[in-house]
A and B are shown apart, each in its own frame.
Chain A
Amino acid sequence: MQLTDEERGMLAGEHGRARQWALRHQIEVGEFFDAPDFVPVGQAHVMADTESLGEEGVRWLESLAALPPGERRVRVPTITDPRGVDFDTYKRLGQTDAMAQIEARAISAFESLGVLMTNTCINYQTILPPVRGEHLAMGDTGVVIYSNSVMGACSNFEGGPSALAAGLTGRTPRYGYHLDRHRAGTKHFHVTQEVRDLADWGALGGIVGRATNSYWEVPVIAGIDRSPNSDELKHFGAALASFGSVALFHMPGVTPEAPTLDAAFQGRPVPAAQIIGAAELQEFYAIYAAKGDKVDVVVFGAPQLSLLEVERLAGLLDGRQVHSATTLIVTTSPEIKFAADRMGLTRRIEDAGGIVAAGICFYQSYAREMAEANGWQRLVTNSAKLVNIIGGYGYKPTLAGTEHCVDCAVSGRIV
């Protein structure tokens, strides 16, 4: 890779040991992907819940945090993805004091590095939305795909260590979606069915993701008959990234790099479209259907809920009560939780028997241990991303529309 004088200085240790590690790590990754050089980034977003960090990862962070302030502090605004524990709700979720303690250690280390503990996977809705052409180092696949596709920004999937490295050096290797030539559409889908609920948008993302199934493919989704809102595209993108490892999509007439179908393919020949209609959506739901089953837990999250999603749920739960054998969990960002508290939405959901947690996103929060502690198996959610992930943690997931999820929570069975 071609390095500037400053980068050569970082590599030589002139900017401290943390930046030296960071640049060395970034060069190793950059060379793997044939990056010609580095590109400055405006923000970094670090996914680092303690379940994935483990004791090893936390100790490593603490070793960085023990360096002198001038060596350890990040150089560009660096924010965090959801954490493993919400200190206000962890006991109600069956999480342990040991989990809270390791979480506190990780937070303390991050704060020493100058990282802002935003604890959110909806930073594009709540912190500082990316801008077209802006280069970023975003963790969380849902954040990357939204930033790239809906905002037109440029980021690869940056795992926790790499995003932190970008925060420390203020740059990232120029490969993948930092390069225009990788941003042209490569696959073509045409939707013939009206997409309504957030779960439908997630299902659509899941179908396209399964059919795309590569980080290096860019699906183009045509036929959408209206401009979806931010929450709809959030669920679509999160599922697409989860099922297909996809980091960028275009939606002609909706997303900024695709004013037309031809533009989505950067003028290259448009391939024949794969049709997605009512039958495909029904088949997707059918994979997870379990009508009549007892429901252990209903989860709204993955991604965290916007204020408007929280408000809708509060409305659906007004005057109703979650079944005594079922737990209903809402996960949102600390900023949205504060707003929900202030506006009385948290109280309405919790009066109905739900739990509103802040700064976590369920699957990043020791999901296996929560299942064991609470005897949970059947999980109902409106998040296609969550049904894709959570099977690996021993759950039996069912995808349902938002209202349907609430009906299941109230009856204690899949209705």
Chain B
Amino acid sequence: MPIELKCHRGIGPAVTGPALVADDNFSARYDLDRIKGTFSRPAHKLFGQSYVGKILVLVTAKGGVASAWMLREMAARGMAPKAIVFDRANTILAQGAAFAEMTMVDRFEAGDPTRLIQNGDELRIEPELGLVTILNRG
């Protein structure tokens, strides 16, 4: 049986994809080279890695109101993550996900998802149900 993780009801469509996990936070303005599609802030734990098409699993969102516009702009160029999973989202990223029609979930019953999900796990996210399934483990 795949591992099922219950979370709060989320935003956006159901998606499947590979997880890119870090015990770190997220801001589209501060952390990313949005042209190259990589994490560009040297202090970020995913520095240098591509996020395009990945399901990002991170702890929380940081300051940076701009992220609300940026997710949609990144999605329009095909240079966006497929979804973002947070332990706890902040308002900006939730608003940005709603605007970009990007999948986002947070608040897991079993705790911090960066400890529950491993890098490279294949995930199925169903925001309406508040459910994340780890397809490759169980």
Contacts and interface: CB of A to CB of B under 8 A. Distances in A.
Interface of A: 25, 28-29, 31-33, 47-49, 51-57, 60, 81, 139-141, 156-162, 175-176, 213-216, 241-245, 363-364, 388-389, 391-394
A391 B29 contact: no
Contacts of B60: 213-215, 245
B47 to A, nearest CB: 10
A153 to B, nearest CB: 16
A54 B76 contact: yes
B90 A215 contact: yes
Interface string B62-91: 111111111011001100000000001111
Interface stretch (B14-22, B48-56, B94-102, B108-116): B94-102
Q: Interface on chain A toward B: helix, strand, loop, or mixed SS?
A: helix
B62 A245 contact: yes
Contacts, number: 137
Nearest to B89: A32
11 contacts: A28-B11, A53-B69, A53-B73, A158-B65, A159-B69, A161-B68, A161-B69, A241-B63, A243-B62, A245-B90, A392-B29
Interface of B: 8-11, 25, 27-32, 40-43, 60-70, 72-73, 76-77, 88-92, 94-96, 98-99, 104
A159 B95 contact: yes
Kindly name the residue among B30, B67, B68, B88 whose own CB sees the greatest number of chain A CB atoms within 10 A. Answer: B68
Kindly name the residue among B29, B43, B98 whose own CB sees the greatest number of chain A CB atoms within 10 A. Answer: B98
Kindly name the residue among A55, A57, A140, A160 whose own CB sees the greatest number of chain B CB atoms within 10 A. Answer: A160
Q: Interface on chain B toward A: helix, strand, loop, or mixed SS?
A: mixed
B126 to A, nearest CB: 15
Nearest to B76: A56
Contacts of B28: 52
A39 B72 CA distance: 27
A382 B61 CA distance: 25
A161 B11 CA distance: 16
A158 to B, nearest CB: 7
Given A31-B9, A53-B73, A161-B96, 12 more contacts: A25-B98, A28-B98, A56-B72, A81-B65, A141-B65, A159-B99, A161-B98, A215-B61, A245-B60, A245-B62, A363-B29, A389-B29
Nearest to B62: A245
Nearest to A141: B63
B59 to A, nearest CB: 8
B138 to A, nearest CB: 28
A157 B40 contact: no
Kindly name the residue among A33, A60, A392 whose own CB sees the greatest number of chain B CB atoms within 10 A. Answer: A392
Kindly name the residue among A158, A162, A216, A363 whose own CB sees the greatest number of chain B CB atoms within 10 A. Answer: A162
A140 B90 contact: no
B110 to A, nearest CB: 19
Nearest to A215: B90
